[in-house]
Chains A and B, each alone.
Chain A
């Protein structure tokens, strides 16, 4: 027989029922596990400090060793300012193309059934695993002005791809192609079709449904994908170097300028340009880390 013993007579009013108690707390930690936790923490922090944090911070340090003079020198060098401008133009074009095709292909992959869907879905990821040098080579083989597959015909039509800006845009688009798609597809899958069907049943047409229901749902994923693509596009080096021919003041982008300045013993300029690129990419990462919780909350 069970019985209630020593239940406190002066009952204090407890908190309202229904407040979710954090149930998933782990049992009281024991000494050995605390030691292990600290050991793991130490290893991880040390590893990341020596592999990433310290080296990256050194670039900032080297750039500002003599105040702003390195940045000044770099930014008054016309070949560097040209390279920076070209990089921005190329990156914006690549991001725009990937945004349109990325969202489009994501919609097709998630919302429609067609033959070869699985193949397409697997091939989409291919650019992430292909060496930038292979990308450059592949584009030269097809669009090369002298003996590419399509190059000569395009050139006769007055359109130069290789050793010109379109080639750099293509190379950059290639390497960052999957980034928007990889972000949007899972979110699109997650939100399902119910809301869209509800909108359709309320009389919205396809465009209205997309603009008013689907797009708000995938908004953060798209922003996230765009930011990642931007970071990747600004930093493209290998593929762009091959297709551009790396002509200073004509087709040289910022990353190629870093290489050339460094090899020409203009280390200050090289570090300053590298710092600018690094600052943008770190900013992108920080933006993403702020967006991500938002996106997750939305799900």
Chain B
């Protein structure tokens, strides 16, 4: 077991950033800390790195108590959202920095830098200044710099948050492949559920300073521990006091006998290959998503009546008071920036 977080509390004035958090992060895996902004995930990452100190609780890294160690002595690689490039040093000198601090022999440093720059595909940029690189390149440089010290753990704080959507997606795939190559225990913070689901071996959902659920992407998606996790990981709609995914709703033009509800179509929106159906069920709005073929078969039109029930095997979670109705409109969100709760 690589990182052991025990009973961590952290307050900033009156604000509770972390509330008695305990967590075990396994070795060699890629773990995502996922949650809405201000939920405490970055604070947890910074406490692991020693950049922030916990009010109470302990941190162990690879069996060594790191609670009172300064960041210099933890041997963690840390990657920041805004790259934190050393602007006055070339790309190569940036990467060499940690090794120079460790007073490694010059030839060794040179070899290591070359190796890492190849790994992050920046070998032609060795002598450039960070200002001459694009955002994605700067972040790859930052990653190489963090990897240079052969860290026990690699921590990434919203590493792709400052990049535009296309580069973000590329780097995300690349990070996954890089991790499969280097196998260093990696923890990254993100508020983008798609990113977490796509890249991570394991996801830790953090909200309001507490851990909501820990599990593999499949476990989280198929067996959400509660309505928060369910709504955070993807679009949900409320049917009969339960939360259910819009694409898990079965629609019929005649009573199938086991329908949960009957509603009137109030709006139809076609987005690419899918059709979003908005229904009015006894004054409540319910969203469903069907394919275009289904939509054609059902002969959907506004004002029509439909019978609704969840499909077999649909994920259904009881809606609690924690979520206001307005929070469930995540269906129109673009995923990347949708933070469905707690606005």
| In-complex A–B contact (CB below 8 Å) | yes
User: Does B224 reach chain A (CB closer than 8 Å)?
Assistant: no
List 5 interface pairs A-B (beta carbons < 8 Å), by A numbering.
Answer: A2-B31, A5-B24, A17-B341, A21-B43, A27-B53
Q: A2 touching B20 by the CB < 8 A rule?
A: no
A7 touches which of B13, B14, B36, B210 (Cβ 8 Å): B210
Given contacts A15-B15, A17-B341, contact A2 B26 (CB under 8 A): yes
Please name all residues of chain A whose beta carbon is closer than 8 Å to the beta carbon of B204 when the two chains form the complex.
2
Q: B7 touching A6 by the CB < 8 A rule?
A: yes
Please name all residues of chain B whose beta carbon is closer than 8 Å to the beta carbon of A14 when the two chains form the complex.
16, 19, 208-210
Chain A interface extent, by class: 20 to 34
Q: How would residues 28 to 52 of chain B score, 1 for a CB under 8 Å from any chain A CB and 0 otherwise?
A: 0001000011110011001000111
A17 touches which of B21, B25, B208 (Cβ 8 Å): B208
Q: How would residues 17 to 42 of chain A score, 1 for a CB under 8 Å from any chain B CB and 0 otherwise?
A: 11111110101101000000000000
Q: B38 touching A21 by the CB < 8 A rule?
A: yes
Please name all residues of chain A whose beta carbon is closer than 8 Å to the beta carbon of B13 when the two chains form the complex.
22
Chain B interface extent, by class: 35 or more
Q: How would residues 99 to 143 of chain A score, 1 for a CB under 8 Å from any chain B CB and 0 otherwise?
A: 000000000000000000000000000000000000000000000
Min CB gap A246→B, angstroms: 51
Near B by CB (< 8 A), chain A positions 29-82 give 30
Min CB gap A19→B, angstroms: 6
Q: B22 touching A18 by the CB < 8 A rule?
A: no
CA distance A173 to B57 in the complex (A): 65
Near A by CB (< 8 A), chain B positions 179-223 give 202, 204, 207-211, 213-215
Please name all residues of chain A whose beta carbon is closer than 8 Å to the beta carbon of B15 when the two chains form the complex.
15, 19, 21
Q: A27 touching B39 by the CB < 8 A rule?
A: no
Q: B38 touching A17 by the CB < 8 A rule?
A: yes
B17 touches which of A2, A3, A7, A21 (Cβ 8 Å): A21
Min CB gap A11→B, angstroms: 7
Near A by CB (< 8 A), chain B positions 325-343 give 341-343
Q: A2 touching B14 by the CB < 8 A rule?
A: no
A2 touches which of B21, B25, B37, B71 (Cβ 8 Å): B25
Q: Which residue of A lies closest to B40 (CB)?
A: A21
B38 touches which of A2, A6, A12, A19 (Cβ 8 Å): A19
Q: Which residue of B lies closest to A19 (CB)?
A: B15
Min CB gap B327→A, angstroms: 11
CA distance A19 to B37 in the complex (A): 9
Min CB gap A102→B, angstroms: 33
Min CB gap A146→B, angstroms: 56
User: Does B273 reach chain A (CB closer than 8 Å)?
Assistant: no
User: For chain A, what secondary structure do more than half of its interface residues adopt (helix, strand, loop), or is it mixed?
Assistant: loop
B42 touches which of A11, A16, A23, A25 (Cβ 8 Å): A23
User: Does B133 reach chain A (CB closer than 8 Å)?
Assistant: no
11 more A-B residue pairs beyond the given contacts A17-B38, A23-B12, with a C-beta to C-beta distance below 8 A: A1-B24, A2-B23, A2-B26, A2-B202, A4-B213, A4-B214, A5-B6, A5-B22, A8-B19, A18-B37, A25-B52
A21 touches which of B7, B12, B23, B25 (Cβ 8 Å): B12
Please name all residues of chain B whose beta carbon is closer than 8 Å to the beta carbon of A4 when the two chains form the complex.
22-23, 211, 213-214
Min CB gap A10→B, angstroms: 11
CA distance A25 to B47 in the complex (A): 12
CA distance A6 to B50 in the complex (A): 23
CA distance A28 to B71 in the complex (A): 11
Indicate the member of A1, A8, A12, A21 with the most B CB atoms within 10 Å: A21
Q: B12 touching A2 by the CB < 8 A rule?
A: no
CA distance A22 to B14 in the complex (A): 11
Q: Which residue of B lies closest to A20 (CB)?
A: B38
Please name all residues of chain A whose beta carbon is closer than 8 Å to the beta carbon of B19 when the two chains form the complex.
8, 12, 14
Q: B26 touching A1 by the CB < 8 A rule?
A: yes
User: Does B303 reach chain A (CB closer than 8 Å)?
Assistant: no
Min CB gap B202→A, angstroms: 6
B70 touches which of A1, A8, A12, A27 (Cβ 8 Å): A27
Please name all residues of chain A whose beta carbon is closer than 8 Å to the beta carbon of B208 when the two chains form the complex.
14-15, 17
CA distance A13 to B253 in the complex (A): 44
Q: B342 touching A17 by the CB < 8 A rule?
A: yes
Min CB gap B41→A, angstroms: 11
Q: A7 touching B341 by the CB < 8 A rule?
A: no
Given contacts A17-B342, A18-B342, contact A23 B22 (CB under 8 A): no
Please name all residues of chain A whose beta carbon is closer than 8 Å to the beta carbon of B210 when the two chains form the complex.
7, 11, 14
Please name all residues of chain A whose beta carbon is closer than 8 Å to the beta carbon of B202 when the two chains form the complex.
2
Q: B52 touching A27 by the CB < 8 A rule?
A: yes
Q: B20 touching A6 by the CB < 8 A rule?
A: yes
Q: Which 7 A-B pairs have the closest CB atoms?
A: A17-B342, A5-B22, A14-B208, A28-B53, A2-B214, A21-B12, A17-B38
Q: A18 touching B16 by the CB < 8 A rule?
A: no
CA distance A20 to B25 in the complex (A): 27
Q: A17 touching B70 by the CB < 8 A rule?
A: no
Q: A15 touching B343 by the CB < 8 A rule?
A: no
Please name all residues of chain B whose beta carbon is closer than 8 Å to the beta carbon of A17 when the two chains form the complex.
36-39, 207-208, 341-343
Q: How would residues 218 to 252 of chain B score, 1 for a CB under 8 Å from any chain A CB and 0 otherwise?
A: 00000000000000000000000000000000000
